[in-house]
């Protein structure tokens, strides 16, 4: 009886160890989504760093023409060296997670948001196919016209089974990947923006960039997005 009990304990202990090996920190359930506590911890670290450095923010240098919601990547190494944060969130890219922590409004009122890097990977994958197609044909694989200068992708020309999409971090719906006349790829966030316009009180008017309606109410930044505005209550692409 005693031997059986010992064997059972050993087996249970081994199972616990094995489970820990199979599911490293970056794969644990709590690290798959950005929790309020994680965002608050990073926000607090940013605020502390600014107080200690007369308003500087710990960001990595990006090109000036980098899109606004991908431009200000938080430098966790700088935060840790300054003792502003004890550890990097488990869901952060730097820890093998799915999210890139960024700042919006870094000069006036820096707010911590995240980019879902699975969107980045999908965009990169489609872009590889698009580049291969252009090398042979010298023009992008334009599909159906969405708006003036904006197109869907002809997925058949890229040997894809269907229209390429990404999973929305806001609604979990499939959002189409779109392309401009130069072959640059974007995500069409009109579905999410329309829901936000309908759900939240706001004072946005035609000509305003309504993408901030998403960052005002969620932890996610609309990466790879074109500017959008509102017209007659509808989310539309912002034309120059």
Residues 210-235 pLDDT 10s:
999 999 999 999 999 999 999 999 99
Residue 138 forms part of a structural domain: yes
Residue 51 forms part of a structural domain: yes
- Check residue 85 and give its pLDDT: 97
Whether residue 85 is found in the same domain as residue 183? no
Q: How many CB atoms lie within 10 A of CB 40?
A: 11
Q: What length is written for the chain?
A: 240
Residues of the chain with pLDDT under 50: 1-27, 29-31
- Check residue 158 and give its pLDDT: 95
% of the chain beyond a pLDDT of 90: 82
Whether residue 222 is found in the same domain as residue 203? yes
Q: Point out the domain boundary residue: 115, 142, 157.
A: 115
Whether residue 216 is found in the same domain as residue 187? yes
- Check residue 195 and give its pLDDT: 98
Q: Which domain holds residue 207?
A: 118-237
Which pTM does this prediction carry? 0.84
Q: Point out the domain boundary residue: 115, 131, 151.
A: 115
Torsion of CA 201, 203, 205, 210, to 10 degrees: -60
Q: Point out the domain boundary residue: 58, 91, 115.
A: 115
Residue 18 forms part of a structural domain: no
- What is the chain's Cα-based Rg? 22
Whether residue 131 is found in the same domain as residue 222? yes
- Say how many domains are in the chain: 2
- Check residue 196 and give its pLDDT: 98
- Check residue 239 and give its pLDDT: 81
Determine the Cα–Cα distance for residues 42 and 40; give it in Å rounded to an integer: 5
- Check residue 29 and give its pLDDT: 44
Whether residue 151 is found in the same domain as residue 76? no
Whether residue 104 is found in the same domain as residue 203? no
Residue 70 forms part of a structural domain: yes
Whether residue 67 is found in the same domain as residue 46? yes
Q: Quick one: tokens of 220?
A: 């996610």
Torsion angles phi and psi, residue 18, rounded to 5: -65, -40
Whether residue 170 is found in the same domain as residue 98? no
Whether residue 208 is found in the same domain as residue 127? yes
3-state SS of the chain? CHHHHHHHHHHHHHHHHHHHHHCCHHHCHHHCCCCHHHHHHHHHHHHHHHHHCCCCCCECCCCCCCCHHHHCEECHHHHHHCCCCCCCCCCEHHHCCCEEEEEECCCCCCEEEEEEHHHHHHHHHHHHHHHHHHHHHCCCCEEEEEECCEEEECCCCCCCCCCCEEECCCCCCEEEEEEECCCCEEECCHHHHHHHHHHCCCCCCCCCCCCHHHHHHCCECCCCCCCEEEECCEEEECCC
Whether residue 41 is found in the same domain as residue 138? no
Are 157 and 133 in contact by the 8 Å Cβ rule? The answer is yes
């Amino acid at each position: 009886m005693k031997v059986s009990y010992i064997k059972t304990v050993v087996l249970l202990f081994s199972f616990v160890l094995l489970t820990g090996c199979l599911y490293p920190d970056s794969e644990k359930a709590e690290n798959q989504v950005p929790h309020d506590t994680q965002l608050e911890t990073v926000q607090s670290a940013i605020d502390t760093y600014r107080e200690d450095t007369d308003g500087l923010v710990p960001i990595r240098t990006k090109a000036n023409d980098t899109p606004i919601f991908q431009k200000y990547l938080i430098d966790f190494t700088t935060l840790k060296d300054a003792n502003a944060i004890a550890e990097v969130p488990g869901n952060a890219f730097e820890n093998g997670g799915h999210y890139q922590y960024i700042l919006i409004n870094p000069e006036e009122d820096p707010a911590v948001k995240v980019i879902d890097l699975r969107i980045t990977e999908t965009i990169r994958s489609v872009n590889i196919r698009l580049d291969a197609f252009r090398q042979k044909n010298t023009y992008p694989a334009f599909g159906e016209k969405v708006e003036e200068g904006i197109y869907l992708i002809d997925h058949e020309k890229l040997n894809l089974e269907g229209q390429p999409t990404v999973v929305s971090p806001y609604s979990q719906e499939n959002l189409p990947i779109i392309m401009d006349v130069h072959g640059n790829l974007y995500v069409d966030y009109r579905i999410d923006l329309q829901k936000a316009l309908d759900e939240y009180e706001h004072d946005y008017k035609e000509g305003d960039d309504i993408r901030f309606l998403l960052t005002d109410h969620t932890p996610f930044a609309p990466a790879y997005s074109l500017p959008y505005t509102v017209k007659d209550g509808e989310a539309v692409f912002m034309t120059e």
